[in-house]
Amino acid sequence: MSKKQKTTERAKDVEVVGLKQSRMWFQKFKNGDFDIEDKDRSKRPKTYEDTELEELLEEDLSQTQKELALTLEVTQQAVSHRLKSGSDVKNYLKTLDWAVLPHPPYSPDIVLSDYNLFQSMAHALSEQWFPSYEDTKNWVDSWIASKDKEFFRLGIRTLPERWKKVISGNGQYFD
């Protein structure tokens, strides 16, 4: 077993405090509060039934998670969790014959030569909404056609720099 593999195996058993938690504690300590126990909350967070979410989705499938959360008076994360874990949603997507992509936008599956393309496309897509597959396909086709040769040349020219960054990073993540 290599030194890197041994270190990785040992690191799996280490328990660490998350960044959000450590920032919260730092702020408390800075303010003189050294108690790290959770305090009683003023009220219990609102919960909702899946039926409420289903009814809202039946009314209008184009609602965003943020809109659903505001209507249900819960966090966007609560809605997201229900949608991801709900078998009804998964079954509904199967009826649409959609390919559900499990990987995040910054996937290790994306090769470096695609990085420039997808980073720019993700920025352009941030405010878009498509009612159909055909609209999505048309938008992507026209977006790619709108890019000049220099856009693609730039992406190719930056490959050596990006490769150097990957190699010098020794497997570490970077932006």
Could you report the per-residue pLDDT of 8-54, keeping only the tens digit for each? 666 666 677 777 877 887 788 888 887 767 666 555 555 556 778 88
pTM of this structure: 0.32
Who contacts 86 (Cβ-Cβ below 8 Å, separation ≥6)?
50, 53
pLDDT higher than threshold 70 for residue 111: no
Most confident segment among 71-75, 77-81, 83-87, 135-139:
135-139
pLDDT confidence of 114, banded at 50, 70, 90? Answer: low
Who contacts 156 (Cβ-Cβ below 8 Å, separation ≥6)?
113
Q: Nearest 5°: phi and psi at 138?
A: -60, -40
DSSP-derived letter for residue 58 is H
What was the pLDDT predicted at 138?
Answer: 92
Integer Cα distance of 64 and 62 in angstroms: 6
Query: Please, are residues 72 and 79 in contact by the beta-carbon 8 Å criterion?
Result: yes
Dihedral angle over CA of 67, 71, 77, 80, nearest 10: -70
Q: Which domains does the chain have, with CATH numbers?
A: 46-100 (1.10.10.10), 112-168 (no CATH)
What was the pLDDT predicted at 146?
Answer: 92
Integer Cα distance of 18 and 15 in angstroms: 9
pLDDT higher than threshold 70 for residue 175: no
Q: Which residue has the higher pLDDT, 95 or 138?
A: 138
**Percentage of the chain exceeding pLDDT 90:** 3
Q: Which residue has the higher pLDDT, 102 or 100?
A: 100
pLDDT higher than threshold 60 for residue 109: no
Buried/exposed code over 3-22 (b: 16+ C-beta within 10 A; e: otherwise):
eeeeeeeeeeeeeeeeeeee
For range 88-110, the mean pLDDT: 64
Q: Give the residue from 56, 88, 85, 54 showing the smallest Cα distance to 71.
A: 56
pLDDT confidence of 93, banded at 50, 70, 90? Answer: confident
User: How confident is the prediction for the chain on average, in pLDDT?
Assistant: 75
What was the pLDDT predicted at 48?
Answer: 58
Query: Please, are residues 92 and 100 in contact by the beta-carbon 8 Å criterion?
Result: no
What was the pLDDT predicted at 142?
Answer: 92
Integer Cα distance of 73 and 175 in angstroms: 34
Query: Please, are residues 131 and 62 in contact by the beta-carbon 8 Å criterion?
Result: yes
